[in-house]
């Protein structure tokens, strides 16, 4: 399967609706292809790789669809911040799962296939999006107090939500989706038996 690049628009997050629709179609194609590969995979190592790919594509589509909804609806004022908190929560939770389960599982699968994987390749991929991933971590209180996990102090929740802007969140979304796409390519190459860097 040829993975279709997800991010096609430039620095500006307010883009033409045709670009958003194309973005959504690409994420949908990747997701449907990943599901088909998952369902067709034999119950062996290939199945494990297809599970990781499907998981990443579910995330990719989920975030893309929510991002498009926010950009399409163009909320204003405090409603914009509230609309953005779902993206922050999804990104934060996925980052936790990547670090605790998915990346270690991918590295273990590569070792099982006898593929020499330079762990620095994953670190380098993260480093390319360091600013965006650091910003995501800076929103820990948004996640913990105002998005899915709610604190007792409503004024504090409002303060954290007000810290979210379309430009800020979409910059992190772009970076994280690009990071995830890099992981998908890494996963594809590992599944084909290619060592990192080749």
pLDDT (tens digit per residue) in 112-171: 777 776 677 778 888 888 888 889 999 999 988 888 778 789 999 999 999 999 989 988
Instruction: Give per-residue pLDDT as tens, 68-112.
Output: 888 888 899 999 999 999 999 999 999 999 889 988 888 888 787
pTM of the predicted model, to two decimals?
A: 0.79
Listed ranges 13-17, 32-36, 45-49, 95-99; the one with the highest mean pLDDT: 32-36
Helix (H, G, I), strand (E, B) or coil at 74: coil
Note whether 194 and 115 are within 8 A (CB): yes
Between the alpha carbon of residue 120 and those of residues 52, 96, 194, the distances in Å are: 20, 19, 16
Task: Please enumerate in sequence order all residues whose Cβ is within 8 A of that of 47, keeping only pairs 6 or more positions apart, or say none.
Answer: 38, 41
Count the Cβ atoms, other than its own, within 10 Å of residue 59. Answer: 22
With a CB cutoff of 8 Å and minimum separation 6, the contacts of 44 are none
Contact 107, 186 (CB under 8 A): no
pLDDT number for residue 165: 92
Q: Which range is least confidently modeled, 57-66, 77-86, 141-150, 185-194?
A: 185-194
Q: How far apart are CA 175 and CA 157, in angstroms?
A: 25
Alpha-carbon distance of 146 to 160, in angstroms, equals 7
């Amino acid at each position: 399967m040829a993975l279709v690049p997800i991010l096609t628009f430039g620095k500006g997050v307010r883009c033409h609706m045709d670009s958003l629709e194309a973005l959504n179609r690409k994420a949908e194609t990747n997701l449907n292809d990943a599901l088909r590969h998952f369902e067709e995979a034999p119950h062996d190592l290939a199945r494990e790789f297809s599970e990781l790919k499907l998981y990443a594509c579910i995330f990719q589509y989920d975030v893309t669809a929510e991002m498009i909804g926010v950009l399409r609806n163009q909320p204003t004022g405090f409603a914009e911040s509230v609309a953005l908190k779902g993206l922050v929560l999804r990104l934060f939770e996925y980052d936790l799962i990547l670090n605790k389960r998915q990346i270690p599982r991918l590295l273990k699968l590569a070792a099982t296939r006898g593929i020499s994987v330079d762990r620095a390749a994953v670190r380098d991929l993260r480093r390319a999006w360091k600013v965006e991933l650091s910003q995501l971590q800076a929103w820990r209180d948004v996640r913990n107090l105002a998005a899915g996990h709610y604190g007792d102090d409503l004024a504090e929740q409002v303060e954290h939500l007000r810290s979210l802007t379309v430009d800020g969140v979409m910059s992190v979304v772009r970076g994280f989706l690009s990071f995830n796409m890099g992981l998908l390519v890494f996963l594809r190459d590992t599944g084909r038996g290619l060592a990192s860097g080749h």
